[in-house]
């Protein structure tokens, strides 16, 4: 139980998950040493370097049986304060070497404060595919408006797109319409239109623009990987990745679902965390490619069912309860601006949830991927709970099931299917 009579408190470091009971009055830095968490500390804990910054995570962490709050730590003083701006202070940042433990806490160690910073890599594999981009660019030269020809700019553009590229029944995003007149004149009546699925004009740029960038993102339970693609030939220009920032609120899908159910703003917090992460990846890949985030005109995001619900801001509680129906099986298109994504705001984002093929094949819908992941982490109890959500008599079924899941296991393409 947290907070026992020896005046020790439960301290949990994320994203490593290292935890243990630490005496009241010890600093977070001392706790990190005791628990084997490597936090930077160049100045030897003298509050000079500021490299030991950590963030206090507040909320009810049912999984650990504690409520973490900044009141469970010594108050911030003027020495520490000079290392933080107002926003960081509001977000709960502290110096680990100056902050004393007065109660149970969950502490997030940001990447820049970790010694031997973790490198998350997900390389793209080259596979021959038919390139069918959702967004293509079309260059047109328009006739200038005159006193004899006062056709509207949009009609002028759509007529030309129809004549030159046989694109009919086009619509234009309202925000793009507001910028259209300037774009047309800045380009001396020569423009490039980005068109989504040959239906909607989502961007108009002055002059000829040939490059078309799209961002594909795989939101995994533990890592998020982004692939910036040249949509004219499907090649990967650059990649970016990070730990899923939701890890601090739970290491696996069950604990994240539980976090949304036990905290009043739980879904909002997890959704905000992944949006920040996606914006960070967009920024990272755009900088690496020497382009602006706004040059990304398409984004496609996939994730497992739980990640899918959280990034779409739809309540995941029903996928944690039998019979586990998702809010939607198919992909959904959303405007980047409506979703808080800082790429070209008019871009349609395709968000798609995926069920692993083994889970689709399992008559009971056992989530084999997460179940195997939990076992690999040594979390046997949690793994069993996950299986029991689908099949109460796991032992019996395990003996009689003909395991159709294994026929679908993609590991079979490499060597052998996993034996669930």
Binding site for ligand SF4 (CB under 6 A): 362, 364, 366, 368, 397, 401, 403-405, 420
Q: Shortest gap between Cβ of 110 and ligand FES (angstroms)? A: 14
Q: Beta 8-14 vs 105-108: how paired, if at all?
A: parallel
**Residue whose beta carbon is closest to ligand FES:** 97
Q: Shortest gap between Cβ of 34 and ligand FES (angstroms)? A: 16
CA distance 296 to 141: 24
Q: Shortest gap between Cβ of 44 and ligand FES (angstroms)? A: 7
Tell me which of ligand FES, ligand SF4, none is bound by residue 341, counting a contact when its beta carbon lies within the kind-specific cut-off of 5 to 8 angstroms: none
Q: Specify whether the CB–CB gap between 377 and 362 falls below 8 A.
A: no
Q: Shortest gap between Cβ of 366 and ligand SF4 (angstroms)? A: 4
Cis check for the bond before 61: say yes or no (omega within 30 of 0).
no
83-88's contacts with Cβ under 8 Å and 24+ in sequence apart are: 83/50, 83/53, 84/53
Tell me which of ligand SF4, ligand FES, none is bound by residue 364, counting a contact when its beta carbon lies within the kind-specific cut-off of 5 to 8 angstroms: ligand SF4
Q: Shortest gap between Cβ of 245 and ligand SF4 (angstroms)? A: 30
- Burial class from Cβ neighbours inside 10 Å (0-12, 13-18, 19+) for residue 3 reads middle
Q: Shortest gap between Cβ of 261 and ligand SF4 (angstroms)? A: 25
CA distance 384 to 398: 12
- 253-262 and 266-289 helices, crossing angle to 10°: 130
Cβ distance to ligand SF4 smaller for residue 162 or 322: 322
Q: Shortest gap between Cβ of 203 and ligand FES (angstroms)? A: 46
Q: Shortest gap between Cβ of 391 and ligand SF4 (angstroms)? A: 6
Q: Which residues bind ligand FES (CB under 6 A)?
A: 41-43, 45, 47-52, 95, 97
Dig out the tokens for 128 from the structure. 């021959």
Q: Cβ contacts of residue 396 below 8 Å, gap of 6+? A: none
Tell me which of ligand FES, ligand SF4, none is bound by residue 45, counting a contact when its beta carbon lies within the kind-specific cut-off of 5 to 8 angstroms: ligand FES
Cβ distance to ligand SF4 smaller for residue 105 or 390: 390
Tell me which of ligand FES, ligand SF4, none is bound by residue 351, counting a contact when its beta carbon lies within the kind-specific cut-off of 5 to 8 angstroms: none
Cβ distance to ligand FES smaller for residue 7 or 111: 111
Q: For 198-295, list the strands marked E by DSSP.
A: 200-206, 213-219, 223-230, 235-243
Tell me which of ligand FES, ligand SF4, none is bound by residue 48, counting a contact when its beta carbon lies within the kind-specific cut-off of 5 to 8 angstroms: ligand FES
Q: Shortest gap between Cβ of 361 and ligand SF4 (angstroms)? A: 6
Cβ distance to ligand FES smaller for residue 48 or 287: 48
Tell me which of ligand SF4, ligand FES, none is bound by residue 384, counting a contact when its beta carbon lies within the kind-specific cut-off of 5 to 8 angstroms: none
**Residue whose beta carbon is closest to ligand SF4:** 362
Cβ distance to ligand FES smaller for residue 47 or 401: 47
Tokens 């996606």 correspond to what residue?
A: 278
Cβ distance to ligand SF4 smaller for residue 36 or 404: 404
Cβ distance to ligand FES smaller for residue 115 or 123: 115
Dig out the tokens for 99 from the structure. 């902050």
Tell me which of ligand SF4, ligand FES, none is bound by residue 41, counting a contact when its beta carbon lies within the kind-specific cut-off of 5 to 8 angstroms: ligand FES
Q: Which helix (H) or strand (E) holds 223?
A: strand 223-230
Angle 131-133-134 from CA coordinates, rounded to 5°: 155
- Quote the longest CA-to-CA distance of the chain: 90
Q: Please choose, from the candidates 109, 89, 69, the residue with its C-alpha nearest in 3D space to the C-alpha of residue 263.
A: 69
Q: Beta 213-219 vs 66-68: how paired, if at all?
A: unpaired
Tell me which of ligand SF4, ligand FES, none is bound by residue 95, counting a contact when its beta carbon lies within the kind-specific cut-off of 5 to 8 angstroms: ligand FES
Tell me which of ligand FES, ligand SF4, none is bound by residue 404, counting a contact when its beta carbon lies within the kind-specific cut-off of 5 to 8 angstroms: ligand SF4
Cβ distance to ligand SF4 smaller for residue 298 or 382: 382
CA distance 14 to 248: 5
Cis check for the bond before 15: say yes or no (omega within 30 of 0).
yes
Cβ distance to ligand FES smaller for residue 80 or 370: 80
Cβ distance to ligand FES smaller for residue 49 or 384: 49
Neighbours of 229 (CB within 10 A): 25
CA distance 136 to 197: 8
Q: Which helix (H) or strand (E) holds 371?
A: helix 368-376
| SS3 (DSSP) at 141 | strand
Tell me which of ligand SF4, ligand FES, none is bound by residue 52, counting a contact when its beta carbon lies within the kind-specific cut-off of 5 to 8 angstroms: ligand FES
Q: Shortest gap between Cβ of 22 and ligand FES (angstroms)? A: 17
- Burial class from Cβ neighbours inside 10 Å (0-12, 13-18, 19+) for residue 67 reads middle
């Amino acid at each position: 139980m947290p907070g026992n009579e020896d005046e020790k408190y439960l301290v949990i470091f994320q994203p490593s998950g290292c935890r243990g009971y630490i005496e009241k009055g010890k600093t977070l830095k001392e706790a990190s040493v005791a628990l084997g968490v490597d936090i930077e500390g160049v100045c030897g804990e003298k509050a000079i370097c500021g490299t030991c910054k950590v963030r206090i995570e507040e909320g009810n962490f049912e999984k650990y049986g504690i409520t973490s709050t900044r009141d469970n730590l010594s108050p911030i003083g003027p020495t520490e304060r000079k290392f933080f701006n107002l926003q960081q202070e509001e977000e709960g940042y502290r110096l680990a070497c100056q902050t004393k433990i007065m109660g149970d806490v969950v502490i997030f160690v940001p990447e820049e404060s970790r010694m031997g910073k973790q490198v998350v890599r997900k390389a793209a594999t080259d596979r021959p595919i038919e390139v069918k981009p959702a967004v293509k660019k079309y260059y047109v030269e328009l006739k200038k408006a005159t006193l004899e020809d006062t056709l509207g700019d949009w009609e002028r553009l759509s007529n030309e797109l129809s004549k030159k590229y046989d694109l009919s029944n086009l619509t234009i995003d309202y925000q793009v319409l507001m910028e259209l007149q300037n774009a047309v004149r800045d380009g001396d009546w020569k423009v490039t239109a980005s068109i989504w699925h040959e239906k909607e004009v989502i961007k108009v740029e002055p002059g000829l623009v040939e490059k078309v960038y799209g961002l594909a993102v795989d939101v995994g339970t533990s890592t998020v990987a982004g692939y910036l693609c040249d949509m004219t030939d499907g090649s990967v220009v650059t990649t970016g990745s990070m730990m899923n920032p939701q890890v601090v609120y739970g290491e696996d899908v069950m604990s994240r679902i539980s976090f949304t159910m036990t905290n009043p703003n739980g879904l909002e917090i997890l959704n905000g965390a992944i949006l920040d992460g996606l914006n960070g990846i967009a920024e990272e890949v755009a900088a690496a490619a020497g382009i602006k985030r706004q040059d990304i005109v398409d984004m496609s995001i996939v994730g497992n069912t739980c990640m899918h619900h959280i990034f779409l801001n739809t309540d995941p509680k029903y996928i944690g309860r039998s019979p586990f129906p998702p809010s939607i099986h198919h992909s959904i298109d959303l405007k980047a601006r409506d979703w808080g994504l800082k790429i070209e705001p008019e871009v349609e984002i395709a968000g798609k949830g995926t069920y692993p093929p083994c889970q689709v094949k399992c008559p009971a819908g056992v989530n084999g991927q997460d179940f195997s992941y939990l076992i690999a982490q040594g979390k046997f109890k949690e793994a069993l709970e996950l299986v029991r959500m689908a099949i109460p008599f796991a032992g019996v079924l395990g003996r009689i099931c003909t395991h159709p899941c294994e026929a679908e296991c993609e590991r079979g393409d490499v060597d052998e299917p996993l034996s669930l």
